[in-house]
Amino acid sequence: MTEASLFTFPCAFPIKLIARSGVDLESIAREIVRAQALHPDQAHWSVHASRHGRFQALTVTIQADGRDELDRLYGAFTGRKEILIVL
């Protein structure tokens, strides 16, 4: 039995990362995206500071080709101690 997918691939897929201020979150995320054989120059990047400036959020929207690709990417993001939350 196959698992039904909520997404039709390929699709644009946003991933949100949260880290403390002072961490070069965008460089870390670009390195991970590149290492996963994705194209960081084709992704959409958006960085925002928290209201009090203690945290930063980065949203990267990639063109995902499948669930396994997303699983590898999430695993790589959660494996970095600088990244506190991956949504």
Q: If we measure between CA atoms, which residue out of 24, 64, 66 comes closest to residue 47?
A: 24
Strand 83-86 with 44-49, pairing: unpaired
Instruction: Give the model's pLDDT for residue 5.
Output: 72
Task: Name the more confident of 42 and 15.
Answer: 15
Are 61 and 16 in contact by the 8 Å Cβ rule? The answer is no
2 has a pLDDT exceeding 60: no
Query: pLDDT at position 1, please?
Result: 44
Domain ranges in the chain?
11-86
CA-to-CA dists, residue 46 to 16, 19, 57, 84, angstroms: 9, 14, 8, 17
pLDDT digits (tens, 9 = 90+) for 32-55: 999 987 877 889 999 999 999 999
Residues 56-75, mean pLDDT to the nearest whole number? 95
**What CATH fold (topology level) applies to the domain 11-86?**
Alpha-Beta Plaits (3.30.70)
